[in-house]
Amino acid sequence: MTNDRVDLEALQQQVKTQQNIEKAITELFAPEDEGLRNALATAKAAGLPPIQISPIQGKLLQLLARACNARKILEIGSLAGYSGIWLARALSQGGRLISLEINPKHALIIRNSFANAGVGDRTEVRVGKALDLLPQLTGEAPFDLVFIDADKAPYPQYLDWALRLSRPGSIIVADNCIRGGKALQGSTEGLEKETTGPIEYNRRASSDPRLTSLALAVDTGHTDGFTISVVTSIE
Ligand code: SAH
Ligand code: DHB
Ligand code: MG
pTM (predicted TM-score): 0.97
Ligand 2 centroid to Cα of residue 107, in Å, is: 18
CA atoms within 13 A of residue 229's CA, in its CB half-sphere: 31
* 218 φ, ψ (degrees, to nearest 5): -115, 5
Ligand 3 centroid to Cα of residue 6, in Å, is: 36
- For the chain, 235 residues long, the average pLDDT of each consecutive 10-residue run is 76 95 98 98 98 98 97 98 98 96 96 98 98 98 98 98 98 98 95 97 98 97 97 88
Q: Is the peptide bond before 142 cis (omega within 30 degrees of 0)?
A: yes
Ligand 2 lined by 51 (C-beta under 6 Å): yes
Ligand nearest to the Cα of 80, by number: 1
Report pLDDT digits (tens) over 20-39. 999 999 999 999 999 999 99
* Radius of gyration from C-alpha coordinates of the chain: 18
Question: Hey, whose CA ends up nearest to atom 1 of ligand 1?
Answer: 78
E strand or H helix at 194, and its extent?
Answer: helix 193-207
Report pLDDT digits (tens) over 46-61. 999 999 999 999 999 9
The CA–CA distances, whole Å, from 206 to 26, 45, 202 equal: 29, 39, 6
